[in-house]
């Protein structure tokens, strides 16, 4: 089993205004962001930065855009000039340096503007995948998945979107199922960037616990896929869809199997008489004092069915003082359900 730290890493790099309380609010934000974003295509030698309000601005199709941190870095890379060098120059000198180092080319650049901000600068080989497109897939195929509990700082939600990228951590809190005698629930991460900050991808898994630092503990059946933003990036949505569908289908299959086991356990007796029941529980390493009390409870509830005895024993283990001892007993008790499988 593995510990997954993707959500943990996101937690400690996000600002408060990048956090969203629900999947619906994150998706709505991404849809709105897409509507407000416009692509502009210009040859690099036609770009002319202007000095305005102490900063550099670009005029594109009648609108003036300021550079944000990400697009400024992309511009410096395009010009082959260190951003640290540009930052040390006076604004006038910086503008002149950019104008003189902008390359000439016969293919246009794609520039993404939103409001008065220039979000990104790319060449023709970059293909954009909108965050909203990815979240539409999630909404269609995993609508009952929700974010985990809030982080210890009461700020991190597992749902993030900033000017550079988007990340979502979702689980099914009702999807617990048994795998090799232990309880697991399904979850997944999805991520993307509309401006080239990172690939688009998904990681699905089954887990036992998520702590308040959003570390996923004891994960199994981990599957991961990612793709760069090239011409076939939209084909990647098919693979992401397949992995999420596979996770949901496996959850439903395990849930149905568990339901069938419980239904059978509610009618099948653990033994023909009290002596046989006691012997079976003793063989399962259940302490004698718990066996006696559990049989008394089950007898009052109508008989020694597997379910009534497991339910009674589970209630009795709450009296055990030490968490480690209680967990070990619960594991043994849970194994009794296998008798109904």
Do 68 and 177 lie in a common domain? no
- CA-based torsion, 44, 50, 52, 54: positive or negative: positive
Do 143 and 249 lie in a common domain? yes
Q: Going along 101-181, which residue ranges are E strands?
A: 109-114, 117-122, 159-161, 166-171, 177-179
**Residue 324: pLDDT band with limits 50, 70, 90:** low
- Work out the number of other CB atoms within 10 angstroms of the CB of residue 315: 12
Per-residue model confidence as pLDDT tens digits over 214-235: 999 989 899 999 999 998 999 9
pLDDT averaged over every residue in the chain: 88
Residue 235 has what pLDDT? 94
Do 251 and 149 lie in a common domain? yes
Average pLDDT over every residue of 122-126: 93
Which of the listed residues 206, 222, 257 is the one where a domain comes to its end?
257
**Residue 126: pLDDT band with limits 50, 70, 90:** very high
Q: Is residue 119 part of a domain?
A: no
Which of the listed residues 216, 231, 257 is the one where a domain comes to its end?
257
Q: Is residue 63 part of a domain?
A: yes
Does residue 197 have a pLDDT over 80? Answer: yes
Q: Is residue 39 part of a domain?
A: no
| Sheet of strand 37-42, all strands in order from the earlier edge strand to the far edge | 37-42, 109-114, 117-122, 63-67, 55-60, 49-52
Residue 328 has what pLDDT? 73
Q: Is residue 26 part of a domain?
A: yes
Do 100 and 160 lie in a common domain? no
Nearest to 67 by CA among 93, 85, 87, 42: 87
Residue 325 has what pLDDT? 66
3-class DSSP assignment, residue 339: helix
Per-residue model confidence as pLDDT tens digits over 23-56: 999 999 999 999 999 999 999 888 878 877 667 8
Q: What is the DSSP string of 16-56?
A: GGGB-SSHHHHHHHHHHHHHHEEEEEE-GGG--EEEETTEE
Average pLDDT over every residue of 172-191: 84
Do 226 and 287 lie in a common domain? no
Rounded CA-CA distance 308/260 in Å is: 16
243: left (phi over 0), alpha (psi -120 to 50) or beta: alpha
Residue 307 has what pLDDT? 81
Q: Is residue 38 part of a domain?
A: no
Rounded CA-CA distance 60/116 in Å is: 11
Do 135 and 237 lie in a common domain? yes
Average pLDDT over every residue of 197-211: 94
Instruction: Give the list of residues 6+ apart from residue 78 with CB closer than 8 angstroms, or none.
Output: 44, 102, 103, 109, 121
Does residue 326 have a pLDDT over 80? Answer: no
Does residue 118 have a pLDDT over 80? Answer: yes
Residue 59 lies in domain = 44-106
**Residue 282: pLDDT band with limits 50, 70, 90:** confident
Q: Please tell me the total count of domains within the chain.
A: 3
Do 243 and 281 lie in a common domain? no
76-90, 226-240, 304-318: segment of lowest average pLDDT: 304-318
Q: Is residue 288 part of a domain?
A: yes
Residue 214 has what pLDDT? 94
């Amino acid at each position: 089993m593995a510990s997954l730290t993707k959500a943990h890493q996101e937690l400690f790099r996000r600002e408060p205004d990048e956090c969203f309380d629900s999947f619906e609010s994150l998706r709505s934000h991404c849809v709105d962001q897409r509507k407000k974003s416009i692509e502009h295509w210009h040859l690099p030698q036609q770009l002319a930065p202007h000095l305005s309000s102490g900063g550099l601005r670009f005029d594109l199709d009648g609108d003036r855009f300021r550079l944000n941190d990400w697009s400024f870095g992309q511009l410096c890379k395009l010009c082959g000039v260190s951003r640290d060098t540009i930052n040390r120059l006076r604004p006038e000198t910086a503008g002149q340096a950019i104008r003189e180092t902008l390359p000439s080319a016969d293919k246009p650049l794609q520039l993404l503007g939103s409001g008065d901000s220039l979000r990104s600068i790319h060449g023709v080989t970059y293909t954009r995948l909108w965050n909203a497109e990815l979240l539409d897939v999630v909404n269609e195929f995993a609508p009952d998945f929700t974010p985990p509990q809030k982080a210890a700082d009461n700020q991190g939600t597992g749902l993030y979107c900033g000017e550079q990228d988007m990340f979502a951590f979702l689980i099914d809190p009702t999807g617990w199922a048994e795998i090799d005698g232990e309880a697991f629930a399904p979850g997944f991460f999805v991520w993307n960037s509309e401006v080239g900050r990172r690939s688009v991808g998904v990681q699905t898994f089954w887990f036992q616990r998520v702590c308040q630092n959003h570390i996923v503990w004891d994960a199994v059946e981990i599957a991961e896929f990612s793709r760069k933003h090239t011409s076939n990036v939209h084909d990647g949505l098919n693979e992401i869809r397949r992995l999420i569908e596979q996770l949901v289908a496996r959850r439903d299959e395990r849930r149905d199997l568990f339901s069938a086991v419980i239904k059978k356990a509610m009618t099948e007796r653990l033994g023909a008489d009290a002596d046989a029941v006691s012997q079976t529980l003793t063989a399962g390493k259940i302490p004698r004092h718990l066996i006696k009390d559990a049989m008394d409870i089950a007898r009052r509830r109508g008989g020694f069915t597997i379910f009534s005895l497991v339910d009674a024993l589970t209630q009795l283990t709450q009296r055990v003082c030490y968490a480690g001892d209680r967990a070990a007993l619960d594991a043994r008790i849970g194994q009794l359900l296998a008798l109904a499988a």
